[in-house]
Amino acid sequence: MPKEVTLNDQICFQISRAHQLFNKFYQEPLEKFNLTYVQYITLLSLWENDGVTVNYLSQKLGLSNGTLTPLLKRLEKAGWITRNRDKADERRVLIHLTQLGKDNKEPILESVQGCLNRLNYSDDEFADAMDTIIDLQHRLEKTNENDK
């Protein structure tokens, strides 16, 4: 007799649930900066590589332009970034950190790291978790490529 399939046995459900919990988990360290989790990862990407196009951010973050554009408008309105047309190619919009975005990098990262420390991962456990998650991402990407 085959094993009964339950919701808790589904990888997709467990990842979705972990995603929900992480969004909630990040609320505390980010709320003092009036940032959402998705705004935070957008800033993380810009701290790695400032002055990029919307398309670059879309690909890097795995977000559609339709999702990213309103998010970027909110970040701009709050003073974290600027959005300007590329002088060399008016079709491209370049995203730059403002001084506020640059100056708050360390305080935001410290706040998030303090929160992450509550997970009580050893360095090896953290590395193993990251390896497992990245392996799953690669398997999913490969499957999606093969389906095309």
Integer Cα distance of 86 and 95 in angstroms: 10
User: Is residue 148 pLDDT above 70, yes or no?
Assistant: no
Q: Which domain holds residue 79?
A: 39-103
66 part of a folded domain? yes
pTM recorded for the entire structure: 0.85
Integer Cα distance of 21 and 126 in angstroms: 17
CATH classification of the domain holding 92: 1.10.10.10
75 part of a folded domain? yes
Q: What is the tally of structural domains in the chain?
A: 1
Q: 43-99, pLDDT tens digit by residue?
A: 999 999 999 999 999 999 999 999 999 999 999 999 999 999 988 888 889 999 999
C-alpha distance across the termini of the chain, in Å = 35
Q: What percent of the chain has pLDDT over 70?
A: 99
Q: What is the average per-residue pLDDT within 106-116?
A: 92
